[in-house]
């Protein structure tokens, strides 16, 4: 009996010694048969660098072992080009010590056709969601004691409200019926920050789902259920920075893991100058360029040094790991101009090499089309920069649409802003792969930007959903969520979706308690999105538009027999629109249908328009 006890104690001690050796191993697993088959494995554990790792396996070769200035990290490069599915053993030995151990590293089987997964494109309408504010399906995960922010308070705009991944999964029917074909939830990985952790952009563990949003299983389930409905899941990733609470920051892997590391360790934070044009400017000074790219985005978001090759590999693998694990239909990359731009080209290139039909959209918040277009694949850039990015975001057109609708009609103001904004498409290598949106999680709500005007909001949405673009709409736009109380306030922009919480008196999922205007907006958007879903003219048709005259602007999309004519009218009084100017479209004598009212008529001579607003007409009856 005594001996058994002693044995158990020794066994316990033995396990304990083993457990202390490796605290983290990342990526936690990989797959056989990947294009990326030179895998860099980061191992973290007390004094792990004092061990010599070996792999005794015929199909797997340990190519390189790298140490850094910190003995608690070890980086192994393994060649998996001949590897097969299953576990392989990594043996760790330390001279003169008895506590040698080994680790079983798993190589999973890839999903069939994983390589050829399709990303989003101009046939997609993406629903952007702030998960904390959409729907709370599981109140048991609202508070997680081991994390720093441990309360939820729906009255605090910057506090956590309890929304989660299951909340999105439970409402996929609604999203599908609205006519969306993809979802982009803002980041849901762990943000163990003291405050404002709800927004997700201060990640403190790049391999862990924030338990307040659910589990990795919940995330996979969301992807699977969405995919069953033909809805793609887009993941929001951040290569530029991490949250100050990231576990790396307590024990930095090397002397140059984050930018301005020495200053940070000396108690000083160097913030970026946000001069994003330094990426393109031929006259930019070195000091401006360095501060732009290496300065921290904000004080509690350490800026990653992608010139450190170990970190660069880590980040690329992390992105691929999530694509494969979640079966993603796209990536949205945050703050695209801020990381090292050569790294970003490699990053996007590595993902596209792994998944040739995939899509990535990068955020360049600029209203200058030249800057937006610079990042798009095949752009002919003067500095020779080659980007592997399929899509960047259309902030220029977003602003043009808002200005066009808010300004009075004169020769140089009003609808002409849309007309001339779209004319800038000649500067993009591939305009239909640029992403258009009326607003997003960082901007004032479109309804607020348009002065709380329902007609203008319909005009903006109907127009942008007809453009040769990938389209994205922020959750709650359909029920006119407003931040008019404090325009631009982030917490307010990310207001709770009505009906997402038990006991909500207004429920946008069921329509209960919605105002007349909210119902009108929701049904308008539903009609437009569902028409768009099957409209080849909108997905990939020819684009034609006519200079605004007398407060009317006409945009046409044409593919084979389908002609879609979008008429924006800013006149308050009834008008008779002479359609002879549009004869080159080929609509004369053809029957057209209003996609919202289903009213049908023959396109001839003049068109009576009795009120301000938008008409979307199609030849598809
Ligand atoms: Ca919850």
On whether the CB atoms of residues 239 and 198 are closer than 8 A, the answer is no
Ligand 1: distance of its center to the CA of 444 in Å?
26
Q: How far apart are CA 525 and CA 240, in angstroms?
A: 35
Report the separation in Å between the CA atom of 214 and the middle of ligand 1, taken as the mean of its atom positions: 8
Is 402 in contact with 450 (CB distance < 8 Å)?
Answer: yes
pLDDT in tens, 365-413: 999 999 999 999 999 999 999 999 999 999 999 999 999 999 999 999 9
| Whole-number Å distance between alpha carbons of 111 and 114 | 5
pLDDT digits (tens, 9 = 90+) for 66-95: 999 999 999 999 999 999 999 999 999 988
Peptide bond preceding 62: is omega within 30 degrees of 0, i.e. cis?
A: no
pLDDT tens sequence across 191-237: 999 999 999 999 999 999 999 999 999 999 999 999 999 999 999 99
pLDDT at 95: 80
Q: What 3-state class would DSSP assign to 67?
A: strand
CB of 76 closer than 8 Å to CB of 41? yes
Residue-wise pLDDT tens digits, 29-55? 999 999 999 999 999 999 999 999 999
| 324 C-beta neighbours (distance < 10 Å), count | 23
Distance 371 CA to ligand 1 centre (A): 39
Protein residues near ligand 1, an ion, with CB under 5 A: 136, 138, 141-142, 162, 164
Phi, psi of 553 (to 5 degrees): -130, 130
Distant-in-sequence, close-in-space partners of 83: CB < 8 Å, separation ≥ 6: 32, 37, 59, 60, 107
Whole-prediction pTM = 0.95
| 476 CA from centroid of ligand 1 (Å) | 19
Is the per-residue pLDDT at 8 higher than 70? no
Task: State the average pLDDT over residues 259-285.
Answer: 97
State in Å: Cα 174 to ligand 1 middle: 19
Q: What is the pLDDT of residue 380?
A: 96
Between the CA of 31 and the centroid of ligand 1 the distance, in Å, is 32
- Count of alpha carbons within 13 Å of 580, Cβ hemisphere only? 2
Query: Which tens digit of pLDDT belongs to each residue from 331-369?
Result: 999 999 999 999 999 999 999 999 999 999 999 999 999
d(CA 197, ligand 1 centre) in Å: 14
Residue 3 pLDDT greater than 80, yes or no: no
Ligand 1 midpoint to CA 126 (Å)? 23
What confidence score (pLDDT) does residue 19 get? Answer: 45
Percent of the chain with pLDDT over 90: 95
φ, ψ of residue 134 in degrees (nearest 5): -100, -60
pLDDT, residue 305, reads 98
The predicted structure's pLDDT at residue 14 = 44
* Average pLDDT for 103-114: 96
Residue 132, token pair as written in the block? 């904390």
Pairing of β 562-569 and β 613-618 = antiparallel
Taking alpha carbons only, the member of 531, 519, 526, 558 closest to residue 616 is 531
157 CB neighbour count, 10 Å cutoff:
19
CB neighbour list of residue 410: distance below 8 Å, 6 or more residues apart:
none
Question: Which residues are catalytically annotated?
Answer: 334, 363
Q: How far is the CA of 168 from the centre of ligand 1 (A)?
A: 11
Give pLDDT tens digits for 559-586.
999 999 999 999 999 999 999 999 999 9
Using the CB atoms, write b or e for 90-100: b if 16+ within 10 Å.
bebeeeeeeee
CA of 196 from ligand 1 middle (Å) equals 16
């Amino acid at each position: 009996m005594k001996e058994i006890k002693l044995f158990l104690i020794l066994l316990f001690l033995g396990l304990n010694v083993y457990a202390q050796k490796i605290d983290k191993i990342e990526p936690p697993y990989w797959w056989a048969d990947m294009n990326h088959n030179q895998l860099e494995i980061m191992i973290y554990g007390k004094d792990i660098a004092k061990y010599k790792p070996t792999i005794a396996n015929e199909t797997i070769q340990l190519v390189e072992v790298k140490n850094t200035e910190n003995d608690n990290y070890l980086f192994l490069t393994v060649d998996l080009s001949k590897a097969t599915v299953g576990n392989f053993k990594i043996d760790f030995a330390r001279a003169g010590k008895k506590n040698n151990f080994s680790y079983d590293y798993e190589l999973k089987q890839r999903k069939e056709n994983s390589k050829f997964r399709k990303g989003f494109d101009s046939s997609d309408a993406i629903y952007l969601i702030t998960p904390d504010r959409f729907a709370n399906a599981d109140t048991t995960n609202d508070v997680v004691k081991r994390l720093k922010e441990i309360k939820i308070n729906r009255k605090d705009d910057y506090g956590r409200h309890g929304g989660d991944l299951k909340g999105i999964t439970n409402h996929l029917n609604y999203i599908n019926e609205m006519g969306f074909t993809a979802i982009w939830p803002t980041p849901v990985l762990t943000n163990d920050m003291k405050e404002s952790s709800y927004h997700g952009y201060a990640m403190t563990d790049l391999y862990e789902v924030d338990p307040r949003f659910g589990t990795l299983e919940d995330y996979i389930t969301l992807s699977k259920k969405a995919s069953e409905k033909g809805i793609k899941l887009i993941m929001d990733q951040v290569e530029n920075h991490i949250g100050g609470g990231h576990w790396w920051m307590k024990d930095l892997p090397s002397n140059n893991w984050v930018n301005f590391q020495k200053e940070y360790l000396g108690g000083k934070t160097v913030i970026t100058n946000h001069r994003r044009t330094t990426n393109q400017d031929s006259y930019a000074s070195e000091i401006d360029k360095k501060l732009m790219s290496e300065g921290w985005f904000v004080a509690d978001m350490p800026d990653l040094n992608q010139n450190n090759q170990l970190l660069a590999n880590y980040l690329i693998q992390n992105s691929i790991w999530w694509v494969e694990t979640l079966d993603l239909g796209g990536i949205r990359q945050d703050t695209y101009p801020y990381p090292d731009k050569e790294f970003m080209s490699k990053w996007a290139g590595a993902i596209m090499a792994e998944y040739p039909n995939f899509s990535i959209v990068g955020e360049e918040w600029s209203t200058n089309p030249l800057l937006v277009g610079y990042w798009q694949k095949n752009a002919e850039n003067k500095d020779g920069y080659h980007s592997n990015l399929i899509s960047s975001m259309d902030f220029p057109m977003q602003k043009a649409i808002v200005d066009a609708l808010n300004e009075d009609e004169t020769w140089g103001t009003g609808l002409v802003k849309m007309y001339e904004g779209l004319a800038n498409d000649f500067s993009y290598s591939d305009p239909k792969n640029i992403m258009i949106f009326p607003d997003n999680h960082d901007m004032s709500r479109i309804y607020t930007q348009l002065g709380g005007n329902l007609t203008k909001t319909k005009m903006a949405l109907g127009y942008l959903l007809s453009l040769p673009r990938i389209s994205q709409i922020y959750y709650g736009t359909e029920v006119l969520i407003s931040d008019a109380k404090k325009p631009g306030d982030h917490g307010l922009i990310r207001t709770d979706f009505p009906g997402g919480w038990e006991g909500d008196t207004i429920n946008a999922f069921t329509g209960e308690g919605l105002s007349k205007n909210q119902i009108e907006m929701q049904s308008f958007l539903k009609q437009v999105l569902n028409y768009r879903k099957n409209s080849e003219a909108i997905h990939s048709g020819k684009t034609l538009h006519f200079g605004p005259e007398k407060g009317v602007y006409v945009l046409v999309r044409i593919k084979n027999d389908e002609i879609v004519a979008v008429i924006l009218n800013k006149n308050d009084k009834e008008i008779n629109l002479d359609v002879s100017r549009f004869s080159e479209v080929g609509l004369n004598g053809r029957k057209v249908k209003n996609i919202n009212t289903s009213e049908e008529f023959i396109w001839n001579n003049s068109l009576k328009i009795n009120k301000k607003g938008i008409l979307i007409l199609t030849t598809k009856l």
